[in-house]
Chain A
Amino acid sequence: MKKSSSPLAVRLSEYAFYLPVLVFFFGPISWLLLASINSDPSSAWQIPVEVTLNNYVQLITESDLLLWMGNSMTLAIGTMAVTVVLSTLAAYPLSRVPFPGKAVFMYALLLARVMPITAVIIPIFSLAVQLSLVNTFAGAILILSAMQLPISLWIMKNFVDSIPVELEESAWLDGCNRLTGLIRIVFPLMSPGVAVTGLFAFLAAWGDFLIPLIILRSPNTFPIAMGLYRAFGDQGSVNFGFLTALSVLYSVPSIALYLFARQYLVKGMTAGGVKM
């Protein structure tokens, strides 16, 4: 890849934008990091007088950290898998096959998702009860996936739209039928879409609190989002060491996935060999 060297003025103006952005986004988070290694953390931003890893050590030795991590992984990976597979399957017909009422359907998808969770939580829960999904990972994963699907379907359809039909048509001439053409030509080209919908689905499920709260009732199914509440005790007391250290650990997989998915976005395009 060739990178055009920009004039100095442009570069400087870029950094002039980066700096405040970095301060704004990272500044508040620095409290979290500093408090997590402080032997006497509090609600105020402060440089630790005594640096310690005790908060992390205690998390690993004294809490159910590994259990929560495992449960969160089950939820997030499960949701990511269901969302990616179902939206990849659905995106192709949504993009290529005309059928009556498609525009209405696509909008209805998005709009239905707008309903505030407070208005739909009761029917969602009632349905989960009817289907015996309460207290099952499958239930939480299916609901989380369903909530993620509208956005995923839109993004994936968007990607298929951008893949020229001509590519497929040439494959049909080579003897592929529609299905094998789909598998050999279209699916590989959808990889940036897969990366971004997969990332969104993972992050949404990893960070969700409400669905696990209503669906996963027994402590050995709690994800990290609920483990976090162990930081809160009687009369609103807060264990800042526990809260901040767990939050830092909670964020690591998301950041790692983001960095991984970014590479995948780029690779997906170059490997797909799109030449226009």
Chain B
Amino acid sequence: MLSINAQTVTLFGRRVSRRRLGELSLLIFMLPALILVIAFVIVPAVWAILISFTNQSLLGPNARNFSFIGIENYLKLFNDPGFWNSLGTSFVFVFGSAFLGQFVIGFTLALLLKQAGVASRGLIGGSVLLAWVIPEIVAVYIWGSVLSFQSGSANQVLLALGMEKQRWLIDTPLLSIIIVNIWRGTAFTMLLFSSALEAIPDTLYDAAAVDGASRWERFRHITLPLIRYTILLDFILITMGTFSVFGIVFAMTGGGPLGRSEIIGVYIYRNAFEYREIGYGSAASVVMLIINLTLALVYLRFTRVKWTVEG
């Protein structure tokens, strides 16, 4: 299996250079992370995919004696108008809260705060972060106090400006949860870009400034190329993160009224836990996974990051 001579090593019948072997032995460092991720992330995900082809339920006769039913869950899914509704709602939700909101605001903040003084950084950055670290259940009360029709601060502001009170959670439920999710999730993008921007040496900008490059030119030709990879990463992460949002929307609107803010995360919870149909809920999760995969590929083209993971 293993034989060694001066410059090369024979491993499983293949000749490998000693240098390459040294490299390969570095892969050992990946092992602990790999074991954890496989155990608690990959295996559960594969498990969920397998379950999606069964009629397993959490309670009832199908809880233990479930059986393989092929793609039946998927057929049922595609025939359910509620599923298509939740998909449509999710796309609007992701586009509105992740792109127009979290990305644009978070990225701009990271750019501005890099130059800003300690006070602005602490105050603005701190507020944005606060919105993220506050526990979900508390965020629900906070926004309940803002959006309440009778006494909410949003309506108090509208009244003070001479406008009419709005029925936020009845007439514009989707907009309301988009706003809440922007509030909640912008910090992640801001932090990610802050660290990426921090990694660009000031000397690069100084040199460009000497050459007379404008602010925009410096951004376009120095910053943007260097953080393209981070933009891709952020797109992927916030899309996936936003697609699987569930708790805060479930608590704010319950997906309603009448399904108008039912994003797919809520749809999945409702089916998997409230209706106890874990097999069916898993099938919806798998469809969501495929959509995320597709979107990730689209971003790859869009950001024109050349995908070679060869080091």
Contacts and interface: CB of A to CB of B under 8 A. Distances in A.
A31 B40 contact: no
Contact of B135 (A106, A113, A240, A247): A247
Interface string A91-116: 01111111100110011111111111
B243 A106 contact: no
A176 interface: no
Interface stretch (B66-74, B161-169, B200-208): B200-208
Contact of B39 (A14, A31, A146, A254): A146
A2 B209 CA distance: 12
A89 B33 contact: yes
B311 A97 contact: yes
Contacts of B95: none
Contacts of B153: 27-28, 31, 44-45
Considering residues B44, B233, B310, which has the most beta carbons from chain A within 10 angstroms of its beta carbon?
B44
A32 B138 contact: yes
A265 B115 contact: no
Contacts of B136: 207, 209
A83 B292 CA distance: 25
Contact of B29 (A92, A111, A238, A250): A92
Given A145-B36, A274-B201, A154 B233 contact: yes
Interface residues on B, range: 35 or more
B240 A158 contact: no
Interface in B139-154: 141-146, 148, 151-153
Contact of A25 (B41, B130, B145, B194): B130
B245 to A, nearest CB: 9
A26 B127 contact: yes
Given A3-B115, A27-B153, A149-B41, A99 B194 contact: no
Contact of B268 (A116, A228, A276): A116
Nearest to A274: B201
Contact of B146 (A31, A99, A162, A229): A31
Nearest to A32: B142
Interface in B260-275: 265, 268-269, 272-273
A117 B278 contact: no
A99 B115 contact: no
A193 interface: yes
Considering residues A18, A118, A199, which has the most beta carbons from chain B within 10 angstroms of its beta carbon?
A118
A166 B122 CA distance: 37
A43 to B, nearest CB: 5
B210 to A, nearest CB: 11
A187 to B, nearest CB: 12
Interface stretch (A51-59, A61-69, A255-263): A255-263
Nearest to A116: B244
B285 interface: yes
Contacts of A200: 188, 191
A257 B293 CA distance: 33
Contact of B273 (A109, A118, A209): A118
B246 interface: yes
A116 B242 CA distance: 11
B17 interface: no
Contacts of B244: 114-117
Nearest to A33: B130
Given A3-B115, A228-B135, A251-B130, A150 B141 contact: no
B229 interface: yes
Interface string B291-310: 01100100000000001111
B206 A2 contact: yes
B125 A258 contact: yes
Nearest to B144: A43
B37 interface: yes
Interface in B229-254: 229-230, 233, 236-237, 240, 243-244, 246
A15 to B, nearest CB: 9
Contacts of A143: 40
Interface string B208-225: 010000010000000000
A186 to B, nearest CB: 11
A149 B41 CA distance: 9
Interface in B9-35: 22-24, 26-27, 29-30, 32-34
Contact of B124 (A2, A18, A27, A96): A18
Contacts of B265: 116, 118
A111 B156 CA distance: 43
11 contacts: A22-B124, A32-B138, A44-B145, A45-B152, A97-B311, A103-B309, A110-B240, A111-B289, A119-B282, A193-B195, A251-B130
Interface of B: 22-24, 26-27, 29-30, 32-34, 36-37, 39-48, 51, 105, 108-109, 112, 115-116, 120-138, 141-146, 148, 151-153, 156, 183, 186, 188, 191-192, 194-195, 198-199, 201-204, 206, 209, 215, 229-230, 233, 236-237, 240, 243-244, 246, 265, 268-269, 272-273, 278, 281-282, 285, 288-289, 292-293, 296, 307-311
For the complex of A and B, the 7 pairs showing the least CB-CB separation, nearest first, are A146-B40, A120-B44, A123-B44, A119-B285, A254-B133, A196-B195, A112-B45
